[in-house]
């Protein structure tokens, strides 16, 4: 048997027929419908998107705030001591953080960092009665940017990561999204119709959610080419650009987590930090510090009010366009990021995972938005550069290039920005493809090459189609449709964790008890959750 035959045999032996078949079928149907009638399909997607946000925006607002509060309790409370399996962590903390951040919302952070504050400066959030394009509007604009990108948006998939890791490494369930059903059916009984449905939806949700982020980054690269060099790319050229980037992230994926994903994630976070530092040095440094200080104060003081604001007078229109979309988008990521976080979290405590998910990531995103967004605000407000003009004409994707072009060493910064955009695309895509491959193989940590290539190509194809037919609006609609159902799954995961922790460990977990958790729980995975003498 030659190598090709072995790879094909391995592929067919490892796949879960139902999850792979339905997941691939839904994806191919999505591609076929859009290819047959792009305008009709885009109209249907937009209509479903509006319906979901109109009737369920309040649910996303409340649920995501609940996730944040629960994660804060895990960081500060006794349950944070629980360790996820035996042995030491597989990766250093820097590599671990880099992979969580890069696989998470790094693509969105890179895209929206230079532009969101400018958008709120032009149209101030209705929670505040402040005239647009004023000094006061700058502080409010930055405050809302920090609110949207610091804690809450990361909470959904952090919950999923903790749940999948705990039920897999401690309770003995398979490493897949349906592991969150363990406290309700047991680790050996999640292969039921509910578990299969969750795994199928997880595949489709991941493709929609990740395609949104990759589409943002792809549009950023394409728009940059048009703005910088005046080259307009048609549908074929867009397809070729996405294909080239798909080849890059698939190659990284084939190298594996340690040799591919980990190294590119480390490079990505290094490039992210370098570009941020250089922008701070050559930009309006004092203004950035002053605006950042004031905005942080407003963000902390008004956090609960912003978290529960619904814009009732206009039916939630502004909230649907911004906050509700920002909350449901990462919910569409929650199955893939949650599974990926679980995959790399063995040996870490729940406190470490929770803090990395919403704490360490916030420490990276807040300076990025303050520095990039603050620089853009200062350039626009003083008239040193017109950023709103190109943004209103070419779209949000052009903002970063306008900002860097107006700074000293603009050419160098622009090149660095393009490299960061490309690296962000690769790190988000390769980890997503690995997660989907794991979902369709029943939780196999090292899926076959054919499986990974198939889902890599599928992801690239969905991204290219969304970019061609509808740009940013089509991408946002796809994320809402695929992410909405996973608000319920994340809620089930949270309830399951609370149920398991309270039953097994009670409300207080002494430090000495944690030494027994990783070694004793796996042997008890098929038994009841009731406390046993050897657990104390």
Q: Specify the pTM.
A: 0.84
> In this predicted structure, what is the pLDDT of residue 134?
93
> In this predicted structure, what is the pLDDT of residue 514?
46
> In this predicted structure, what is the pLDDT of residue 373?
95
> In this predicted structure, what is the pLDDT of residue 273?
93
3-state secondary structure of 1: coil
Q: What whole-number distance in Å separates Cα of residue 503 and Cα of residue 531?
A: 7
Q: Nearest Cα to 22, choosing from 456, 443, 436?
A: 436
3-state helix vs strand vs coil in the chain, percent to 5: 80, 0, 20
Length of the chain, please? 536
Report whether 14 contacts 448 (CB < 8 A).
yes
SS (H, E, C) 478-498: HHHHHHCHHHHHHHHHHHHHH
List the beta bridge partners of residue 349.
83
Query: How distant, in Å, are the alpha carbons of 81, 160, 189, 527, 533 from that of 530?
Result: 19, 24, 18, 9, 10
Residue 87 region, left (φ>0) first, then alpha (ψ -120 to 50), else beta? left
Q: How is the chain split into domains, by residue range?
A: 15-535
H/E stretch holding 306: helix 303-308
Q: What whole-number distance in Å separates Cα of residue 170 and Cα of residue 343?
A: 13
Scan for tokens 């994707």, then name that residue.
Answer: 397
Q: What whole-number distance in Å separates Cα of residue 136 and Cα of residue 128?
A: 10
The radius of gyration computed from the CA coordinates of the chain, to the nearest angstrom, equals 23
pLDDT digits (tens), the chain, 536 positions: 567 677 677 767 777 788 877 777 877 777 677 667 767 777 777 788 888 888 899 999 999 999 999 999 999 999 999 999 888 998 899 989 988 888 766 777 888 899 999 999 999 999 999 999 999 999 999 999 999 999 999 998 899 999 999 999 999 898 888 999 999 988 888 888 888 888 888 877 776 666 666 666 677 777 777 776 666 666 666 667 777 777 766 676 666 666 667 788 888 889 999 999 999 999 999 999 999 999 999 999 999 999 999 988 777 789 988 999 889 888 877 887 888 899 899 999 999 999 999 999 999 999 999 999 999 999 999 999 999 998 888 778 888 889 998 999 988 998 888 888 778 777 777 777 777 788 787 767 777 778 878 877 777 777 777 666 655 565 566 667 777 888 889 999 999 999 999 887 765 444 444 444 444 444 444 444 433 332 32
H/E stretch holding 268: helix 262-282
Helices of type H across 356-448: 361-368, 374-382, 388-394, 399-405, 410-439
> In this predicted structure, what is the pLDDT of residue 147?
96
> In this predicted structure, what is the pLDDT of residue 527?
41
CATH class of 15-535: mainly alpha
Q: Nearest Cα to 18, choosing from 222, 196, 231?
A: 196
Q: What whole-number distance in Å separates Cα of residue 326 and Cα of residue 520?
A: 40
What are residue 172's phi and psi, to 5 degrees? 90, 15
SS (H, E, C) 162-230: HHHHHHHHHCCCCCCHHHHHHHHHCCCCCCCHHHHHHHHHHHHHHHHHHHHHHHHHHHHHHHHHHHHHC
Q: What whole-number distance in Å separates Cα of residue 15 and Cα of residue 1?
A: 20
Q: What whole-number distance in Å separates Cα of residue 398 and Cα of residue 225?
A: 9
Scan for tokens 């509808």, then name that residue.
Answer: 470
Q: What whole-number distance in Å separates Cα of residue 505 and Cα of residue 509?
A: 6
Q: What whole-number distance in Å separates Cα of residue 341 and Cα of residue 26?
A: 25
> In this predicted structure, what is the pLDDT of residue 342?
92
Q: Nearest Cα to 445, choosing from 169, 245, 188?
A: 169
What angle do helix axes 193-229 and 323-344 make, rounded to 10 degrees?
110
Report whether 429 contacts 462 (CB < 8 A).
no
Kindly tell me the burial class for residue 308, based on how many C-beta atoms sit within 10 Å of its own C-beta (0-12, 13-18, 19 or more): exposed
Longest dimension (CA), the chain: 73
Cα atoms in the Cβ-side hemisphere of radius 13 Å centred on 107: 29
Q: Nearest Cα to 508, choosing from 68, 165, 81, 183?
A: 81
Q: What whole-number distance in Å separates Cα of residue 400 and Cα of residue 372?
A: 8
Q: What's the token pair of residue 413? A: 């910064």
């Amino acid at each position: 048997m030659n190598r090709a035959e072995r790879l094909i045999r391995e592929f067919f032996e490892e796949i879960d027929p139902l999850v792979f078949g339905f997941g691939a079928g839904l994806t191919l149907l999505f591609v076929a419908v859009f290819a047959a009638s792009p305008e009709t399909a885009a109209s249907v997607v937009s209509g479903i998107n509006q319906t979901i946000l109109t009737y369920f925006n309040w649910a996303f607002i409340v649920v995501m705030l609940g996730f944040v509060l629960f994660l804060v309790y895990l960081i500060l409370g006794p349950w944070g001591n629980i360790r996820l399996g035996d042995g030491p962590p597989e990766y250093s903390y820097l590599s671990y953080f880099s992979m969580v951040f890069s696989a998470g919302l790094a693509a969105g952070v890179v895209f929206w960092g230079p532009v969101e504050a400018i958008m709120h400066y032009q149209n101030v959030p209705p929670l505040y009665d402040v005239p647009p394009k004023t000094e006061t509007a700058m502080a409010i604009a930055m405050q809302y940017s920090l609110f949207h990108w610091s804690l809450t948006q990361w909470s959904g998939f952090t919950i999923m990561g903790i749940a999948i890791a705990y039920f897999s490494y401690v309770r003995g369930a398979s490493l897949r999204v349906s592991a969150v059903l363990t406290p309700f059916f047991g680790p050996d009984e999640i292969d039921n119709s509910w578990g299969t449905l969750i795994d199928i939806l997880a595949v489709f949700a991941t493709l929609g959610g990740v395609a949104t982020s990759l589409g943002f980054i792809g549009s950023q690269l394409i728009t940059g080419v048009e703005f910088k060099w005046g080259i307009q790319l048609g549908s074929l050229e867009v397809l070729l650009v996405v294909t080239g980037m798909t080849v890059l992230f698939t190659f990284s994926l084939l190298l594996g987590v340690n040799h591919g994903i980990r190294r590119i994630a480390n490079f990505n976070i290094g490039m992210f930090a370098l570009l941020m530092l250089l922008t701070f040095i050559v930009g309006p440094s004092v203004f950035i510090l002053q605006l950042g200080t004031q905005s942080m104060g407003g963000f902390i003081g008004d956090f609960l009010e912003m978290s529960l604001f619904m814009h009732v007078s206009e039916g939630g229109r502004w909230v649907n366009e911004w906050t509700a979309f920002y909350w449901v988008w990462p919910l569409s990521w929650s199955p893939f990021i949650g599974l990926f976080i679980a995959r790399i979290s063995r040996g870490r405590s729940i406190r470490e995972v929770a803090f990395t998910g919403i704490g360490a990531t916030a420490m990276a995103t807040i300076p990025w938005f303050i520095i990039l967004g603050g620089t853009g605000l200062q350039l626009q407000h003083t008239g040193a550069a017109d950023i709103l003009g190109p943004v209103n004409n070419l779209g949000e994707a052009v903002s970063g290039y306008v900002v860097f072009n107006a700074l000293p060493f603009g050419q160098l910064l622009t090149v660095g920005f393009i490299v960061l955009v490309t690296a962000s695309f690769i790190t988000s895509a390769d980890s997503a493809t690995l997660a989907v491959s794991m979902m369709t193989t029943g939780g196999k940590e090292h899926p076959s090459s054919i499986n990974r290539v198939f889902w890599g190509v599928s992801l690239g194809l969905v991204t290219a189609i969304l970019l061609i037919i509808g740009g940013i609006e089509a991408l946002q609609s796809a994320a809402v449709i695929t992410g909405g159902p996973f608000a319920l799954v994340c809620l089930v995961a949270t309830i399951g964790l609370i149920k398991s922790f309270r039953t097994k460990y009670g409300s207080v977990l002494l430090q000495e008890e944690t030494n027994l958790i990783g070694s004793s729980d796996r042997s008890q995975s098929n038994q009841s959750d009731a406390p046993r003498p050897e657990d104390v």
